[in-house]
Amino acid sequence: MLDSSAIGKKIHELRLMNKYNQDQIAEMLYVTRQAVSRWELGQTLPSIDNLIELSKMFNVSFEEILCMNDEAVIDSHNIFAGHNRSFVIKSIINGKIDVDLAKVFYQFSDEERMQILSALKNKKLQTDIKCLKVKLTPTELDYLLGGEY
């Protein structure tokens, strides 16, 4: 899964480096300036055709624009800073981002907490349950461990 926030920052950085403004990019790609702004803010991703054009314009590979070779740097004080929330959650579940779940658990929304717990329950994800236990609500504990806690 791609990190739209990191890609947005990369497009912004490459645009400034190549001395274009958003209007110029929009004109060259036949999209609106708002579309370019949404890419840079990480709200949407460019289409494949537009990404290919952007890579030609900036003279970089599409892998570079898509930050495919970059390792996601996660700040444990704010794991979502600079990243798309779904990207962070999916990467944690897939084991692509290594975080101390017990330490960062308070940063997840209620739904995200259940997604993580569901992954733990279904053994898709491993963590030290003893440390995590104290961070869970009684309902979450019962969901994860049943009567065992």
Residue ranges that bind another protein, judged by CB under 8 A: 1-2, 4, 45, 47-49, 51-52, 62-63, 66, 68, 86, 90, 94, 111, 114-115, 117-118, 138-139, 142-143
Question: For residue 97, what are its two tokens?
Answer: 């981002």
Which is nearer to another protein, 21 or 52 (by Cβ)?
52
Which is nearer to another protein, 26 or 141 (by Cβ)?
141
Query: Is the Cα torsion angle 69, 97, 36, 47 positive or negative in sign?
Result: positive
Q: Are 18 and 72 in contact (CB under 8 A)?
A: no
CB of 44 to another protein, least distance (A): 9
Which is nearer to another protein, 77 or 138 (by Cβ)?
138
Burial status of residue 30 (CB atoms within 10 A of its CB: 0-12, 13-18, 19 or more): exposed
CB of 35 to another protein, least distance (A): 12
Quote the DSSP letter at residue 78: B
CB of 113 to another protein, least distance (A): 10
Quote the DSSP letter at residue 97: S
d(CA 36, CA 26): 6
CB of 125 to another protein, least distance (A): 13
Which is nearer to another protein, 14 or 45 (by Cβ)?
45
Burial status of residue 104 (CB atoms within 10 A of its CB: 0-12, 13-18, 19 or more): buried
